[in-house]
Amino acid sequence: MAKSKFEYVRNFELDDTCLRNCYIVVRLDGRNFHKFSEQHNFMKPSDNRALGLMSRSARSVMEELEDITIAYGQSDEFSFVFKRSTSWFKRRASKLMTHVASQFSSSFVYYWKEYFGEHPLLYPPSFDGRVVLYPSNRNLRDYLSWRQADCHINNLYNTTFWTLVQKGGLTTTQAEERLSGTQAADKNEILFSEFSINYNNESPLHKKGTTLIWEKVNETTTKQIKRPDEVQTEITVTRTRKKVTSHSCDIIGDQFWEEHPDILESDQC
């Protein structure tokens, strides 16, 4: 293809190739989602419709970009981990981030009605993204542990806050003042002693967030076949294929990683 005299402008592009042998994490966060949730009447403290829609959108991203080995989400954020050996988009950070963000945002709009029914989407949501590299398995696990710990802290606060408002009759200002300076034990005590709520019995989805991984699953289908005597009969066929599965479990401890050893790659370069 002939070159033009204007092609020199490509020299202004920055080289944003991600360092080799590192996990590439693309993390998305909802922009102004506090306002978005209020205007769309999200349930407090947690709206399972919104959490389901976030997970469905994340699954769409993973199905589009199969080099994402694990994704973790809570509230209005989701982190996508590309395997350290990925060569998608030549490991360009801008390409990876924009593809993840656009696929996630469009999926959020596309699947909205599936989760919110006739409740209208008043305006399109937006998500900002960042790319961070983690060179070792321990670094990556610590990152995901950080996000899950954040999920627990936020959910305990929100559960206590909205219980004080919805069941305790406090205003949002009064509830905020009541919880100022409290520790996790204090919030647990408020829930149990004043409202007979054992936080340990709360939904794992709300306490642990959502972890998406690739797993092999067996799918059984029924097929019609014609025998040599021209008689049709049904047979059952079982096939194994990789599928994105959802888990609301602890990913800070070792058990999850021992049960799914194929998520992480060897630290040996």
Asked whether residue 76 is marked as a ligand-binding residue, the answer is yes
126 is in an annotated binding site: no
32 is in an annotated binding site: yes
30 annotated to bind ligand: yes
Pair 25, 79: CB distance under 8 Å:
yes
Query: Is 4 annotated to bind ligand?
Result: no
The answer to whether 31 is a known ligand-binding residue is yes
119 is in an annotated binding site: no
Distance CA 197, CA 203 (A): 12
Q: What is the distance between the alpha carbons of residues 60 and 55, in angstroms, rounded to a whole number? A: 9
Q: How far apart are CA 161 and CA 170, in angstroms?
A: 9
229 is in an annotated binding site: no
Phi and psi at residue 177, in whole multiples of 5°?
-70, -40
What residues are designated binding site for GTP? 29-34, 75-76
What residues are designated binding site? 29-34, 75-76
What residues are designated binding site for Mg(2+)? 29-30, 76
